């Protein structure tokens, strides 16, 4: 049997800005919501004010482009739209 590769999320964060805890919290949020639907979440230390979230290399959120840090709800919706558009996120999809 061939196993289908699960989506891989990466969160690049600035070590100089001390954004490790923020990146770790967001990784935890994504793993709690998507659980075994993800192949993993990788934290990537960087510099220069970087904070980027990618799924399989595709940019979901970039701090400078998108105007700050994502709310967990917004990032979860973007990830869902990228990997499972028909999935209902329950209360996160309600206004």
Q: Cβ distance 43 to 9 under 8 Å?
A: no
- Taking residues 43-61, what's their average pLDDT? 98
Instruction: Identify which has the larger pLDDT, 38 or 4.
Output: 38
Q: Decide if pLDDT at 87 tops 90.
A: no
pLDDT at 95: 64
What CATH architecture does domain 1-61 belong to? 3-Layer(aba) Sandwich (3.40)
Q: Which pTM was predicted?
A: 0.91
> Which tokens hold the place of 77?
């919706």
Cβ contact 55:79 at 8 Å: yes
Tell me the domain boundaries of the chain.
Answer: 1-61
């Amino acid at each position: 049997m061939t196993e289908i590769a699960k989506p891989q999320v990466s969160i690049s964060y600035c070590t100089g800005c001390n954004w490790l805890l923020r990146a770790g919290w967001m990784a935890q949020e994504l793993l709690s919501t998507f659980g075994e639907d993800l192949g993993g979440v990788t934290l990537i230390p960087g510099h220069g004010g970087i904070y980027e979230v990618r799924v399989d290399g595709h940019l979901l959120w970039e701090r400078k482009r998108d105007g700050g840090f994502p709310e967990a709800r917004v990032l979860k919706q973007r990830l869902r739209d990228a990997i499972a558009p028909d999935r209902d996120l329950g209360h996160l999809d309600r206004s």
